[in-house]
Chains A and B, each alone.
Chain A
Amino acid sequence: MSTEDRGEANAHNWMDQDAGPLVRSFALTGGRASPGSESFELLTYVVTVPWSSGYSGLHLQPEHLSILEHAERPASVAEIASHLSRPLGVVRVLLNDLQEMGAITKYSPTPTANRPDDRILQAVIDGLRAAG
């Protein structure tokens, strides 16, 4: 892209070098930006359902398969997005596809947020002291 094109109009400011992966990403989702994706929070965990359970993988894209491979052991949405190097919104759409076809099981984050269990807090402290 030439510099003249870049400076032409504000409407095209997004077409810089950062736009490349984004355009490809949403092409991946068929243009879908956010349907049904609210329930995949950053720390929602997903686990791949074994192929033997009988869902069809015929229409899966490589990114779907990559998620299935990564989530053979429980993986958080944030980890998966990082692993795929795709925006969270895109990953949520792909996860939604997989959930609809029964290829993943979803585990919502443990709701310890507002009043965390004291034993958990102590375990975190102990773990941090032991680390490194």
Chain B
Amino acid sequence: MASEQQARPVVVPTTVKILIAGGFGAGKTTMVGSVSEIMPLHTEEVLTSASMDSDDVSGVEGKTSTTIAMDFGRIYLRDDLVLYLFGTPGQDRFWFLWDELALGALGAVVLADSRRLADCFPSIDYFEQRGTPFLVAVNKFHGEEPFGVNAVRTALNLDPGVPVISCDARDSMSGREVLISLIEHVRSRVN
């Protein structure tokens, strides 16, 4: 019993972070929710930073901020291994948040709605410029798939090495397959 008073060794899990990107309405929240428990994460957009000095409150009245809600998911794979999914903010004005989200990310899933392919151009550009491994997952809305993956690849002018797959963001199995495909893609780049 006395031994319980001793500090137990703390086991901090290894974490793997994957981003779920794509245009507004492409199914990011749906996909995060279908494969994991989903939690809201609030962060703030500071439009005008009055002062970084904590004691200086003058000018705070001129500081305009809004909170941004994002989704994130967590999957315990083992006691010591946790996968985190972060949905990226869809609106252009929240781009500044991406750098923190992308820091240390294993890779990204760019969800595409084939009826609005242009919406995922900004995500693709971002990951290409950053060198973050990504794949494009074409979300089948209501089971329909108006354009095949090859047509999507051509339309997006993707590097031949970037996988394009179809998925159903509502389906847990399909979502997990997308994540597995991404990890295999990352692994093929590393080796």
Q: Do A113 and B106 touch (CB < 8 A)?
A: yes
Cβ B183 vs Cβ A121 within 8 A: yes
Given contacts A33-B52, A43-B104, A128-B180, contact A110 B44 (CB under 8 A): no
Q: Is B142 part of the binding interface, using a Cβ–Cβ cutoff of 8 Å?
A: no
B85 to chain A, nearest CB (A): 11
A-contacting 9-mer, from B13-21, B110-118, B119-127, B154-162: B13-21
Number of interface residues of B (CB under 8 A): 55
Would A31 and B106 be within 8 Å (CB), given that A86-B42, A124-B16 are in contact?
A: no
B10 touches A47 (CB 8 A): yes
Report chain B residues within 8 Å CB of A89.
Answer: 43-44, 46
**Cross-chain contact A41 with B43 (CB below 8 angstroms):** no
> Once the chains bind, are B104 and A41 in contact (CB under 8 Å)?
yes
Pair A42/B86 contact, Cβ less than 8 Å: yes
Within 8 A of A (CB), among B27-50: 35, 39-44, 46, 49
Binding site for A on B (CB under 8 A): 5, 7, 10-17, 35, 39-44, 46, 49, 52, 54, 57, 60, 62-67, 72, 74-75, 77-78, 81, 83-84, 86, 100-101, 103-106, 172-173, 176, 179-180, 183-184, 186-187, 190-191
